[in-house]
Amino acid sequence: MTRAVIAGSGSEIPPTRVSNAMLARVMDTSDEWIRERSGVEARHYVERGTGTSDLGVVAARRAIDHAGITPADIDLVVFATMTPDHFFPGAGALLQAKLGLREVPCFDIRQQCVGFLYGLQLADAQIRAGLARTVLLVGAEIHTGFMPWTATNWEYMLGRGDVPPTPEEFAWNTRFRHLTVLFGDAGAAVVVRATEEPRRGVVDSLLHTSGAEYDKLYVPGTGFKHRPYTDPEQFKRGDHIPVMDGRAVFKMATTSMIAASQEVLTRNEVRIDELSLVLMHQANKRINEYCQKALGIPDSKVLHNIERYGNTTAATIPLLWDEAARAGRVTAGDLVLLVAFGAGMNWGATLVRV
């Protein structure tokens, strides 16, 4: 039977590291609040002009090298992002051109924080169906486009300018602080390959969506419900910036991630002690600690990197995977549980045998 294995991974972290204290220059927040409530200590931002496809390309090149293949081997691309370079086409086509791939199909998927797990299920299904043998799966995001700060605020925050925000700008920036402090930019990729080896590859993917609560985390403006789809009034209202009911999302995330983990483990008759590693979406360290405790997973089996990168949406799980793989924490025979929750609402849990 053909199965899909993760054969290599790569990631790209943009150069500009921004600490919590730097954010506090342009809004009413503090290092203490951000660390305590979310676990984030810093995040990285791209410089103006970099697109999500650019982060994806660098990460993909590293994943291709790591897998020991060439770009010519790739016969399918799946690009998961909620922050594409353009409204259309998606980032997959741009990545295909920049990497010089053959004219292979490129899917763009937008399941936000669960994009990687949805993409992995798609890659697995394509491989099992015999439609592809080598899939490039990318998760990348540039959240800086959501940030409400003016160009002058940016310079001041980064320590490159000496004009502080006006009181009105400071108040405007503070309105979005519960959201903006959490996110960072990053790209990560994996190469998923067909194998006929027994007992390896994606064991099972469990995916769920519930659109009923979509408005707990969404972008109210700049969509085609509006005519025109974007206009200055929407920007004046701040409708281009996501709305997030943090407490509601926190509750849904913990409930769903615990339930999905238990469901995928039960239906595959896997016990917690048989898992080598659990990689959870990095939205809030407290969410993950809560889930870890409820599931009874020891600290030694859980990796976090939210303190360094913040929430990088579709990139969080492949980024963790890449760090784990390069640190020798992902080795042949290991059973790894991947679990995520995000806007949609979407959530899922995937079991992978390395």
The answer to whether 39 and 292 are in contact (CB under 8 A) is: no
Whichever of 96 and 180 has its CB closer to ligand UT7, that residue is 180
Whichever of 77 and 315 has its CB closer to ligand UT7, that residue is 315
Nearest to 9 by CA among 347, 345, 338, 276: 338
Cα–Cα dist 273/296, whole Å: 9
Q: Is 311 a catalytic residue?
A: yes
Exposed/middle/buried for residue 224 (C-beta within 10 Å: 0-12, 13-18, 19+)? exposed
**Helix (H/G/I), strand (E/B), else coil: 149:** coil
Cα dihedral 73→78→79→82 (10° resolution)? 180
**Minimum distance, C-beta of residue 38 to ligand UT7, in the bound complex (Å):** 5
Q: Is 113 a catalytic residue?
A: yes
> Any contact of residue 83 with ligand UT7 (CB under 6 A)?
no
Please name the residue that has the structure tokens 């998961």. Answer: 80
Site map 253..272 versus ligand UT7, x via CB under 6 A? x-------------------
Give me the catalytic one of 281, 288, 291, 346: 281
Cα–Cα dist 7/36, whole Å: 37
> Any contact of residue 283 with ligand UT7 (CB under 6 A)?
yes
Q: Find the binder of ligand UT7 among 5, 13, 14, 29 (CB under 6 A).
A: 29
- Contact segment (CB under 6 A) with ligand UT7 among 174-182, 191-199, 292-300, 328-336 equals 174-182
Q: Is 281 a catalytic residue?
A: yes
Whichever of 321 and 341 has its CB closer to ligand UT7, that residue is 341
For 220, the token pair is: 């109210």
Q: Find the binder of ligand UT7 among 17, 98, 133, 178 (CB under 6 A).
A: 178
Q: Find the binder of ligand UT7 among 146, 154, 235, 250 (CB under 6 A).
A: 250
Closest chain position to ligand UT7 (CB): 246
Exposed/middle/buried for residue 290 (C-beta within 10 Å: 0-12, 13-18, 19+)? middle
Whichever of 247 and 267 has its CB closer to ligand UT7, that residue is 247
Nearest to 110 by CA among 76, 84, 135: 84
Cα–Cα dist 77/34, whole Å: 36
Q: Find the binder of ligand UT7 among 37, 98, 304, 326 (CB under 6 A).
A: 37
- The contact set with ligand UT7 (CB under 6 A) reads 29, 33-34, 37-38, 113, 177-178, 181, 217, 246-247, 249-250, 253, 283-284, 287, 311, 342
Catalytic positions are 113, 281, 311
